[in-house]
Amino acid sequence: MSLQSTKQASVLVVEDDENIAYLLKFMLEREGYQVALARDGRQAKEFIEAQPPPHIALLDVMLPFVDGFELIRLIRASAAWRSTPILMLTAKTQEQDVVRALDAGASDYVQKPFAPNELLARVRRYARAPS
């Protein structure tokens, strides 16, 4: 696949809550991002195994079929995806969950409910980071 000539950054959003998923898609597309949406861990796993990496992956932790921790392991085990920034977005707020995600290879962790502008600032930061 050739490099895109546009500057549009891509984001993989993995979120099983329909309302949050479409809010994230709307927010990110409004900011100019190209958004791929996976509704559960199985769809995300298939995307990771078949597609080139996006500029950033935004993952929920609690997902049907394959959870966010397993998706982190899958991304970090893939040569193509290994350097993709991973931003965890989850309602799991206990310190042990944050530590587990970061230790597994997540780049950052945002708790739900999230502040939209803060989330967008974090996405911008990681989307422009060199890979």
The whole-number pLDDT of residue 90 equals 85
List the chain domain ranges: 10-127
Q: Report strand pairing: 34-38 vs 56-59.
A: unpaired
Residues 6+ apart with CB under 8 A from 114: 89
Give this prediction's pTM: 0.90
CA atoms 92, 96, 99, 105: torsion sign: negative
The chain-wide mean pLDDT, for the chain, equals: 91
2 against 82, higher pLDDT: 82
Q: pLDDT tens digits, residue range 13-43?
A: 999 999 999 999 999 999 999 999 999 999 9
Assigned superfamily of 10-127? Response regulator (3.40.50.2300)
Q: pLDDT tens digits, residue range 88-128?
A: 998 877 889 889 999 999 999 999 999 999 999 999 999 87
Q: What is the mean pLDDT of residues 53-60?
A: 96
The whole-number pLDDT of residue 129 equals 56
